Amino acid sequence: AQVDKAGYKHFMAKEIAEQPAVIGTTLDRYLDAEGRIHLPANGLDFARIDRISMVACGTASYACQVAKYWFEQLARLPVDVDIASEFRYREPPFVANTTALFVSQSGETADTLAALRYCAEQGLQIASLTNVPESSIARESDVALPIEAGVEIGVASTKAFTCQLTALFIMALKAAQVRGTLTPAQIADHLVQLRQLPGLINATLSLSDRIEDVSRKLAEARDVLFLGRGALYPLALEGALKLKEISYIHAEGYASGELKHGPIALIDRKVPVVVLAPTDPLFDKTVSNMQEVLAREGKVILITDAAGAKRAGEGAAHVITLPEIPPALAPILYAIPAQLLAYHTAVAKGTDVDQPRNLAKSVTVE
């Protein structure tokens, strides 16, 4: 079926706005009304998996990096994450009972597919998470899981990313259930919170005008840093990737704790620093990194919640206040302001948001 912009100025804007609905579809796909998790029966037996090797490119690889925190923290299941172009030529060895998981919006990325074929030759169980059930990656998998994001047209991935995260979080919960690392009550709590995600994303989307104001300032920058800790670190990488892809502003994502090992040398009043900091157990550490930026006259754009704004808002040039969310789900919600910052900055600069120069939606050649 032909997909149109449905009144939006760009596909990217439409796809950002669709997230509450499509995440709802992903949830319905994997959870029933009684709150039970349904993954394909022939599929992943987390009791017999000792390690997961996740492989992807671009934005999908950042979804894997977030998932590593979830699988390791919730299910105590070790995860390796690789970008496919490196993995495929490294000829990595595997420990017994490793399952390989390939994450790809299109299911056609050449490097990811080559990595899959390498793992299949090694005799690994092959699982995949794609947005296209007929894709090569899905077809060549032992277990092919869909994300149900609907067709994504904007070259910069948005709704596919948050649907990938949602499906990966459910898989991590399933692993925790099977491996007995969370109690049934803890799992039930996570599932109740997961159901609140579409509403929280909706509330976050209503901050679009506020983020547009901040973006007009960001559009003047030559370099931008994104900082985050824990599972928000991959979101810092994703925020920087989105911004550079569509606004052509040089941006880098860093783990907050790594600031003093290099990027702090760049800080001056001309380099905006976007700090992604929900109030979680690592909040105070991130705030002290933010202080280091402020002490060097850096302009901080703090993305946090109301409690975080109260504790740390002073000194920041801009504070974007998101709804409160349980720390485990914060990486999904904090994707929204990262997308909106990139989108509005690109619009302010007048770049081609949906078809940025030199980039392709699906990289099917090496």
Binding of ligand G6P by 156 (CB under 6 A):
yes
C-beta closer to ligand G6P: residue 105 or 125: 105
CB of 288 to ligand G6P, least distance (A): 33
Q: If binding means CB under 6 A, how many residues of this protein chain bind ligand G6P? A: 16
Of 26, 53, 98, 105, which lies in the binding site for ligand G6P, with binding defined by CB under 6 A?
105
Closest alpha carbon to 174 in 193, 190, 195: 190
Phi, psi values for residue 318, rounded to 5°: -140, 140
Of 26, 85, 98, 109, which lies in the binding site for ligand G6P, with binding defined by CB under 6 A?
109
Binding of ligand G6P by 362 (CB under 6 A):
yes
CB of 360 to ligand G6P, least distance (A): 6
Residue 125 and residue 118 in contact, taking contact as beta carbons nearer than 8 Å: no
Q: What is the DSSP string of 266-319?
A: G-STTSEEEEE--SSTTHHHHHHHHHHHHHTT-EEEEEEEHHHHHHH-TT-SEE
Closest alpha carbon to 126 in 43, 192, 65: 43
Q: Is 242 designated active site? A: no
Binding of ligand G6P by 145 (CB under 6 A):
no
Of 20, 58, 228, 253, which lies in the binding site for ligand G6P, with binding defined by CB under 6 A?
58
Binding of ligand G6P by 155 (CB under 6 A):
yes
Closest alpha carbon to 241 in 257, 229, 254: 254
From 53-61, 115-123, 194-202, 286-294, give the range in contact with ligand G6P by CB under 6 A.
Answer: 53-61
CB atoms < 10 A from the CB of 307, how many?
13
From 28-36, 44-52, 98-106, 336-344, give the range in contact with ligand G6P by CB under 6 A.
Answer: 98-106
From 150-158, 204-212, 269-277, 332-340, give the range in contact with ligand G6P by CB under 6 A.
Answer: 150-158
Distance CA 211, CA 231 (A): 22
Of 157, 166, 304, 345, which lies in the binding site for ligand G6P, with binding defined by CB under 6 A?
157
Residue 164 and residue 129 in contact, taking contact as beta carbons nearer than 8 Å: yes
Paired residues of 56 in beta bridges: 83
Of 99, 112, 247, 339, which lies in the binding site for ligand G6P, with binding defined by CB under 6 A?
112
Strands of the sheet containing 272-276, edge to edge, are 250-255, 223-228, 272-276, 299-305, 318-322
Q: Give contact residues for ligand G6P (rule: CB under 6 A).
A: 57-60, 104-106, 109, 112, 155-157, 359, 361-363
